[in-house]
Every structure is written in structure tokens, then in C-alpha cells.
Structure 1
């Protein structure tokens, strides 16, 4: 046993007892207890129990055979004095090396080598006169008060959440009411068109019925006249004969005109676009948890006005052994798993990269893959001439699942809110996921690749378009109205554009060999983050990975450039 322990427990051995004699322990001896008094709630050895019994003859004293009752007896081990590591043991010692209260088991198991083991009665001498000891109740009361305040704040927060839930519920009902009003208006317009069509057809039917009635009467009169004139002179009979022939001819003309249309009917062709658009929408809006933190340092990734700087440039080889030509990376996107999918238009391939940007799989494409965009989950879409090919990336493999064909070129694609934004090179179209055209959002036929690539803000309100031929970044609202037009000496033939969920916007420029950061309104350049001397070569597309705070840039090169931002 360590010397400190021996000095504090005089003449005591280092045996570990289940229960130690209370009077012996108070006098510095380590003696095993064989009895327990339920009235005194103390333990006694053979010597001490004799003295106890002489003084307290009516106390109930339990022997070792009733040791289970010792542990169950009230006051045997006060919770304050019980060891946290060994709940059946009382705290008797202090380890000065670890500044830790210990029971005998603690010392035997984890503190045998410690030099500052002391008996609690020795350390506790004079503690009640200690100022810190005297302030403990006050400090506990203060902490308790803080917890009470915290509880009150949490209760208020609970109430406010219920009110927030009610307010959001009312807002959702208002949205639902507006949608119902829109649907009611659509229904009313559709029924008005139907009523107008039915009324027009009923008018034609009425006219045919009137013609039938009129001709029936005229034919009846002609029969009566013919029969009367047929019995008179031949001249009158001849006149009746000729008029009857004319009447029959006219009647047959009317019949042919009416009979040409066997039946008037109306059919209804449902507009599936409404149902399809509503089906693509999962909720009325996004419920976002907002946690207010105290003294929280501002995260640059969450600040759309943060201007990034570069901490390092690093290249990663993406050329495969069977690639015939130099790589030309025309599209880059990231999967939720952290893997990347890139389009290599020179080698007609779509490549899957792991988190370290190593090629782990690929699939061949029949034509030039111009762009790639993430759809949802493990699904991406690749632009191939006038088609959009959907590819699933799962378990390290790429599998083509389906494709959509368009009547125009499919040069670039973006996905937002269950809709596809397709660039034809001179126009931007909006399509459903099944390939049904919703509208043409924007068009510029004044040059070549005036509508190159596009990016959508996280809320879907802003759309960024690169105008390759006129060296411009165009910013639109979601109705196609132009909000801003940006030019800059470092912006020559802009190709790729990317908008992060928090509002940062990045552009890579094929002609000036630059990567730029612009403000979320698309009105000014924040910074030029890379140039040709920073190993750029004809950049075509880029993607910002929030997980690594890095820009992944692809161009006419066998390597990807990864720019670490801070």
C-alpha cells in the first residue's frame, strides 16, 4: 500500500472489507464489521459490538447471516456517501493524485499506485469552517435558480411552439384556400367553355329540327295539292308534277345536309399537367428548425455575402486507361454519399468518382455528354444531344434507367422542385419529370450559346444563366424576367455556373481561364478565385462541395482541379 495511505489509516491493513466497523474507522482502524445496528445505522466488529450491546440492550443488531438486510436497511448507505462506481460501497477515502472520492474497492482496483490516498475524516477536519464550504448552499441555490429559469424559458418555448404550429397551420389553410380558389376558377372556366360548346351544338340541333318540321308540312301540302291537280286538266297535272319534283329535290338536299352529321357529341381531354405538377409537390412549404445559439460564431458557409479566399489548389487524375482522347470534363455534380459524377465529353463517358476523386466506375454514352446534374438520391441526368439520360449510381456502379427526348437540343440541365430546367443553347425550357413541356422560360437567338448553363437558387426564386458568346452572367426571376446582367474583364466565355443552398454563386469561364465568385443577386463580382497560372485549363463546369468547402472544377484536362476555400 502507498505510504500516504498507511499514514492516514493507522495500524490498518490493506484488506478490502464489504463493511468496515464504524467506531474503528472513526479512530483510524480498518476493521471488518460483523454486526449492524438498525437503530444506530452503524457497523460493528466483534469488540465494538460488545460495548454497543452493553449500552443499548434494546437495539436490534443484525449478524452476518442477515447481511442482505444490512444493504436493505434505511440509512445503511446514504446516497450522498455512496460510491458512484460501486453503489454498494461507501465513500471512505480521497485520492489526492486524481482529486477523487473513493471507496475501498476503487482504491484496490484503480488507485493502488497513487501516493496521496487519505482517509476522509483526516481530510475533512475543519471543513465546516471553510468559506467555500459555507458558500456551497448558496451556490447550489444559484444553480438551482438557473435551472428553474431555464425550465420556465423552456415552458415558454413549448407554448410558443404550439402558437407557431397554429400560425403555420393557419398559413397552410390559407394557401390551401388560395389553391382551391384557383381550382374553382379553372373549373368555372372549363364549365363555361363546355356550356358554350353545348349551347352552340343545341342551336344547330334546333335548326335541324325546325327544318325537318318545315319540310314535313310542305311535303304534306304538296301531296294534297298533287292529288287534287292530278284529277284536273293535263296542264295543271304537269305543273303539279314539276313542282313536286322540285320539292322532292329540295327535301333530299336538306336530308343530305342534316344526315352528313350523324350525331353531335362532346369529349373531354383532361389536362394532366395540373395533377402531375401537384403530385410532384410533397408539402406546402419547408418546415425549418431554427436553433438560436448564444455567442455563436458566424459560419462563412451560411453567410451568402462571405467572400471566399483560397487555401490550396490540388489536382486529381480522372483519365482512364482506355480513354482515347484527353479528358474534357463538361459536367460535375455530387451525390449525397459524397461521391461525384462527371461527364467526359471527349471520351463519351460518364464517370463515377469516390470521395478521394478516384474513378471507380463508368458508363459509355452514345454521343457527347454535355452536362450532368443531380436529380434526387442516387439519380443523375446527363444531357446527350436532344435527349436526357437518367443514370442511377448505387453501390459503386452506374446504371442507365430511362431517357427523355426533346424537339430541341439538350445542352445543359438543372433540377429544382420536381421540375427540369433544360437549356437548348438559345432558350431555357421548363419540363416535368416525365418530359412534358411546361413553358419556355427565356430565349435569346442573337448568338451562339446565349443560354449555356443554368443554376437555380435554393428557394427557386432566382435563375442564373451563362451567356457564352456575349461574355455575360444573366440573372432571372422564376417567371423569366431579367433581374441583372453581369460582365467583367475576367469573365470571357462563361460556361459553368453553380449556386449553393446558402446563396453563394460561382462561375467558371472557358475563355479567360478563370473561376469567379459573384454575389447572390448576380450584380457584381466578389472575387477571382483561380486563373490559368493556378493550373486551370479551359474550365467548363464546376461544383461546390459544402462537406469539404471545396470547388471541384472540370475542364479540358486529364485532371480535376479541387480548390479549397476558406
Structure 2
């Protein structure tokens, strides 16, 4: 049976219990006859909902990972701080007693060392246990939302697959499309409650100088990467360096890149929590981050220039200035996804949604615009805005929010994930933005980091 009043499929028991007062409950054959569904439109709606559910799942998993990383770092700092204080105290004891009562104090100090060693072990064990319990409590509601995403995605996906198989069977087709619409409505409600197209609100700003004494020029920060542990990588193209910043945004390590070109834009993307790919003219240099130190590893030589780079699920997306290519992380070319040879820098920088179903391109010439592509390279949307004058920086957060910045317009914007509309001006010249060239979101610190042209400072905006 079908109840038009509630738009529900129902069995005889449902009719008796819940639909006795409904006047239009009809048998399925009758309800299905003469009903026509726009299956193409339904398919697009379903795919969009599936994509958002996947993004929501990725976002929740990223939140859990960020919590885990921050708690581990907090544990380490507590234990290390205690150990430093104790060692310092012991040294003071040894220094103050070495000349007068060394023979008498040697055994007590040795005994103290053993006692302190056991105390530290117990403290570390109890602290870690306590922190793990706290972490589990904070992760529990996030896991519930993540699991709901997985369940809703599973149910809707199987309906999506089933519909094309029953198009020639009116009753089954009606059931499948009705259930599909019900699931989309449920998913929409769930997403609004747990994963809205969240617009960032800026609630604070800090400025940090990233110039090194050995830098030859002022900084030109053409790329920023936020690591899960709260550290940040910045690419300084004028000085041809990648710099590692600690949690306080101080430079703690760097790597030089020897390139014969005076003007060269470095770009970067995160592969794993400890590995980054750097686009350097016509090659990709992989670097690793370990114990606050940077080291070069393997390298990929390309047959074209590399102006922008992004990564998703083992695939590298590389811009050449006029085309977007897809590579495997091993260096194997998969295909050319998009090309525009009408000018140079038509395909400058790129970013990819967490689920990999949408690709974003910043097109610098002949007109500054943001392009949104499907997974196969089909152009889905084109967005232009006066606030995107000199469009340079482009970034997609783990939740799928799209951030862009305009150099000439001195603006950092948030754009809808569909790539068709502006959601918010996050920062402008009044906030200290001068010539923004790169932008990145750190979910660990809930902040948006902006790098600029000919400026030794990076801007860090705390957001909610």
C-alpha cells in the first residue's frame, strides 16, 4: 500500500496502526500506475547526498584523528615536563653536595634515582590511562555520527544501484524511487544536524614572522600545509625553501631547493601525516617530517611544468598551467582530466574534495575564476567574483569547505562546495590581509593560515 498523505509505503499492519485516518491509502499497483519519476534528477540528488554523507564520514574520522594526535602530544608534554623538572632537581642536589658530603649523599641520590624512575613509570602509565579514558569519552559521540553516516550511505547506495535495474517494472520502480526519496530526506535532516555546509566564523587573529636569518629575500609564501600534530609547513618561493614551523609557528627546520629560475612558485600537498609532495618547476620532490626535522626522499620527473599539486586516496592531481593531469603516487600517468590552452595559467592550482568526487581549479588568466570538475574531468561549475581579483590560493578542508584568496582584492573567501556561490568573506584588508597567495585550514588548531606575497608574516585566523 501507499499513503499519499504521509508519502509512505506501508503494509496492512501499518495501515491499521498508523494510517486509519488517512483517506487516500491505495494499493501499490494503483499508486504506481501513471506515476512518472524523473530518474535522472533523482540520480543527481542521490549522488550529491551520497557525496555529502561520505564527506561527513571523512570529517568525523578526521576529528577523531585530530583528538588522538592532540592527546598524545599533551601526554608527551606532561611526562617530558615532569622528567625535566626532576632531572634539574637532581643536578642541583649533586652540585650542592659534591664537595662536602659526596660520600654520604652518593647512596641516597642513587636510591632517589631508582625511586624516581619507578615513580615516572607509574605516573606515565596512570596519565596515559586517564587521558585515554578522556579521549574515548570525547570520541564516543563522534563515532556515533560516523557510524550513522556509514549506515545511511550503505542504504542509499544500494537503492541507487537498484533503481536502473527495475525501470521497466512499474511497481518495483515506484517502491525503489519512493524509498530513495525517503532516505534522501532522512540523510538531509541528519546532515543539517551533524554536518551543515558550515560557514566559518573568525574569532581571533595572530601574526607570526617566518623569516630566517639566512633568507636572502623577503618571504613569498606560495603554499601552506597543516600537519595533524599542529606543526605547519610553508613554501617560501623567493628563498626557494620549505620551512617547518612548530606549534608556536617558529621555524625549526628547513630544506633548500636548487632551481636555476629566479622566480618559481612552489606548491605542496599532504600525502600522509609525515609525508609531503612539493611541486618544483617540472618535478615532484617528496619530503618526510620526523622529530621536527625535514628530509628529502624520492623524486618524480615530469614531462610538463608543475604549477599546482593535490592528493587524494593515492592519486596525485598536477596542474601544468594549461592542463590538469592525474597520476598515481608511484609516478604513473593515469590521464589528462582537463585542458584549456586559450591562455597561460588557465589551470594554475588545484584541490580535491575529501571523497574525490569534485576537483577545483584556480584559473588565473584570462579571467580569474574558480572551476569545479567532476571526478572524470567534466566541468560542473564556473565561479567568478570581484573579490577574487588575482585568484591564487585554493584549499579544501577535511569537511569539504572550499577556501580561496584573491591577491589583488586582498580577500580570503569561503565558497560553497558546489563551486557556484560565495558563502562568506573570511578576511579582508581591514584584517591585515595585504596580498594573500596561499591558504590552508588546520583542523587540529581550528585555524585558517594565510601566506602572502613579499611578506615575512603569516596570518593565523582562529575560526569556529
Structure with greater contact order relative to length (CA < 8 Å, sep ≥ 6): 2
- Determine which of 400, 413, 427 is the counterpart of 1:530: 427
Per-residue deviation, 1:303: 2.2
Partner in structure 2 of residue 432 of structure 1: 328
Correspondence 1:315 to 2:211: no
Map Cα deviations across residues 227-260 of structure 1 (whole Å, 9 max, x no partner). xxxxxxxxxxxxxxxxxxxxxxxxxxxxxxxxxx
Q: Distance in 2 between matches of 1:450 and 1:313?
A: 33
- Determine which of 241, 265, 271 is the counterpart of 1:375: 271
Partner in structure 2 of residue 260 of structure 1: none
Runs of 4+ with deviation above 4 angstroms: 295-299
Correspondence 1:468 to 2:361: no
Please give the secondary structure, in 1, of the residue aligned with 2:324.
Answer: strand
Please give the secondary structure, in 2, of the residue aligned with 1:508.
Answer: strand
Per-residue deviation, 1:313: 2.1
Correspondence 1:540 to 2:437: yes
Please give the secondary structure, in 2, of the residue aligned with 1:533.
Answer: helix
Correspondence 1:455 to 2:351: yes
Per-residue deviation, 1:442: 0.5
Map Cα deviations across residues 368-425 of structure 1 (whole Å, 9 max, x no partner). 4510110113000111110000000110110000110111001111011111000111
Per-residue deviation, 1:528: 1.1
Q: Distance in 2 between matches of 1:296 and 1:322?
A: 49
Q: Distance in 2 between matches of 1:471 and 1:322?
A: 35
Q: Distance in 2 between matches of 1:493 and 1:547?
A: 29
Q: How does 1:394-413 map to 2 (within 5 A)?
A: 394-413=290-309
Correspondence 1:444 to 2:340: yes
Per-residue deviation, 1:298: 5.2
Relative to 1, partners in 2 of residues 1:444 and 1:509: Cα closer, same or farther, differing over 3 Å?
Answer: same
Per-residue deviation, 1:337: 1.8
Partner in structure 2 of residue 54 of structure 1: none
CA contact (8 A) 1:331 1:370 kept: yes
- Determine which of 488, 493, 503 is the counterpart of 2:385: 488
Q: Distance in 2 between matches of 1:369 and 1:444?
A: 20
Partner in structure 2 of residue 185 of structure 1: none
Correspondence 1:562 to 2:455: no
Aligned residues: 281
Q: Which runs of 5+ in 1 are unaligned?
A: 1-156, 175-291
CA contact (8 A) 1:467 1:493 kept: no
RMSD: 2.8
Partner in structure 1 of residue 179 of structure 2: none
Map Cα deviations across residues 156-215 of structure 1 (whole Å, 9 max, x no partner). x9xx99xx7xx89x97xx9xxxxxxxxxxxxxxxxxxxxxxxxxxxxxxxxxxxxxxxxx
Q: Distance in 2 between matches of 1:296 and 1:505?
A: 18
Map Cα deviations across residues 237-285 of structure 1 (whole Å, 9 max, x no partner). xxxxxxxxxxxxxxxxxxxxxxxxxxxxxxxxxxxxxxxxxxxxxxxxx
Q: Which runs of 5+ in 2 are unaligned?
A: 1-143, 162-186
Q: How does 1:341-356 map to 2 (within 5 A)?
A: 341-356=233-248
Q: Distance in 1 between matches of 2:402 and 2:290?
A: 29
Q: Distance in 1 between matches of 2:456 and 2:287?
A: 23
Please give the secondary structure, in 2, of the residue aligned with 1:547.
Answer: coil
Partner in structure 2 of residue 499 of structure 1: 396
Q: Distance in 1 between matches of 2:343 and 2:207?
A: 34
Map Cα deviations across residues 412-464 of structure 1 (whole Å, 9 max, x no partner). 11011111000111110001112111000011111221111111111110111
CA contact (8 A) 2:227 2:442 kept: no
Correspondence 1:512 to 2:409: yes
Please give the secondary structure, in 1, of the residue aligned with 2:380.
Answer: strand
